[in-house]
Each structure stands twice: as C-alpha cells, then as structure tokens.
Amino acid sequence: MLTSKQRAYLRGLANTQEPILHVGKDGVGANLVRQADDALTARELIKGTVLQNCPITAREALDTLCEETGADPVQTIGNRFVLYRAREKDPEIVLP
C-alpha cells in the first residue's frame, strides 16, 4: 500500500509518460494482463488508457489489473490510469 506522499511522487513521474496499455472492446483479458505484467517488470510504473468502445471504466480496468498483477493503483483521471509495482530485484524507482 502506498502513502499519499509516495503516490504524489509516482504521479509526478507518470506525468511525462505516454500510455503503453490500451484497454479496448474486449476489456481486461488474459493477454492484456500478461502485457501489463511484463511492462511492470520492465518499467515498474506504467500508464494505460481505456478506449471509447470499451465496456468498462478506467477505474474498473485499474482495479482488475492491480488485482491480477499484484500492482498498486496510483491514479485514475478520465480514461487514463497509472499502476506501480516495485521490482523485487534492483528497483529502479526509489520511493520517498
């Protein structure tokens, strides 16, 4: 669980990132979960977006992805969301 100070720090880091996950009309499937897991392992902090034809909201997509990947939710604004999972070995992002 992240503190509000840690969450604010991660929001600042995510501000300059482009979304790399795109949740489409199929919602959150096994392929998207695997893609998010791989991206979290490589980057630790990822941003995603929910397309207009998606049947679920960004909050629902974020909650599902966090549950499936073991990540922490950072932020949801409109159709975008941010998740964070620290690497077990040699973390790149050091939280305050």
Domain range summary for the chain, segments of one domain joined by +: 4-84
Collapse the DSSP code of 72 into the 3-class scheme (helix H, G, I; strand E, B; otherwise coil) and give the result: strand
* C-beta of residue 65 within 8 angstroms of C-beta of residue 83: yes
Q: Please name the fold of domain 4-84.
A: Translation Initiation Factor IF3 (3.30.110)
Q: Enumerate residues 6+ apart whose C-beta is below 8 A from 72.
A: 1, 2, 66, 83, 84, 85
pLDDT of residue 88: 86
pLDDT of residue 94: 86
Q: Enumerate residues 6+ apart whose C-beta is below 8 A from 88.
A: none
Mean pLDDT by 10 residues, the chain (96 residues): 94 95 93 95 95 94 96 96 92 88
Q: How many Å apart are CA 29 and CA 10, to the nearest integer?
A: 26
Q: Which two tokens stand for residue 91?
A: 């973390």
